[in-house]
Structure 1
Amino acid sequence: MCELYVKADPILYESRSRSLRICGVVTTLRLENQFWDILSEIAAVDGMTTNQLISKLYEEVMDYRGEVVNFASFLRVSCCRYLAQPQDKRAPLSLVANRS
């Protein structure tokens, strides 16, 4: 059972930082490469860039919750929620983020 996990390409769990502008403020996010890949996929489904998607998600979670304690963790959970959907029924992440 563990072979599925331990044989993962190490590049997938290597962290990478990206600088982006969220609500006019330049910030840096550090995520594992696999999460950057998933966010890129979701952005493509939504017809936007990864940075645009991340900015939109930040605005939506702030509107909904009023704060976000750990935005990187929010993004990881959002990616997991996206992947948990059947592939033929995957909704754009902006809709997933609004579900309870």
Structure 2
Amino acid sequence: MCRLFVGADPALWRNRTRSIRLSGVSTSIRLEDFYWTTLEEIARRDGLSLGQLVSRLYDELASEGEIENFASFLRVCCGRYLALQLAGEVPSNRAVPIRSLDAERILARENAARALVSERESA
């Protein structure tokens, strides 16, 4: 099992630091290349640059409250994007923009599934 992961291209986990402007402030974010590539794919789907996508994510997250670890948030965004593709919630056709998806419907389905699992576990 581990060979599948250990044998992958080491470039996937190479760290890269990028300078990005967030809310008018220049900052650096360090992520593995795998995540930068995934974020670039997400950005392209909506016709955004990587900087524009990261800035929008930052601004929306900041509007929800304090940001503790933005790099971790970006990694989770990538994981959710890939998991939602596997679940069929995000079309694998990269021509379909993320902004065209019904986020509230997807989140409601996720919440319902979580509630069902929680209900089964407590029974």
TM-score bracket, shorter-length normalisation? 0.7 to 0.9
Residue 69 of structure 1 corresponds to 68
Residue 6 of structure 2 is matched in structure 1 by 6
Shift of 1:86: 2.7
SS across alignment from 1:16: strand
Q: Distance in 2 between matches of 1:86 and 1:13?
A: 22
- State the one-letter code of the partner of 1:19: S
Matches within 5 A, 1:11-26: 11-26=11-26
Q: More relative contact order in 1 or in 2 (CA 8 Å, sep 6+)?
A: 1
Whichever residue aligns with residue 42 of structure 2, its letter is I
> Does the alignment pair 1:56 with 2:59?
no
CA distance in 1, matches of 2:51, 2:35: 13
- Deviation, 1:92, is 2.1
1:76, CA displacement in angstroms?
0.1
Separation (CA, whole Å) in 1 of partners of 2:11 and 2:31: 12
Partner of 2:121 in structure 1? none
Bigger radius of gyration: 2
TM-score by structure 1 length? 0.87
The secondary structure found in structure 1 opposite 2:39 is helix
After superposition, the CA RMSD in angstroms is: 1.9
Percent identical pairs in the alignment equals 49
Aligned residues: 96
User: SS where residue 47 of structure 1 aligns?
Assistant: coil
Kindly indicate whether residue 91 of structure 2 is the aligned counterpart of residue 92 of structure 1. Answer: no
What amino acid is aligned across from residue 76 of structure 2 in structure 1?
V
Shift of 1:61: 0.6
TM-score for both structures, normalised by structure 2: 0.71
- Secondary structure of 1:62's counterpart equals helix
What amino acid sits opposite 1:60 in the alignment?
E
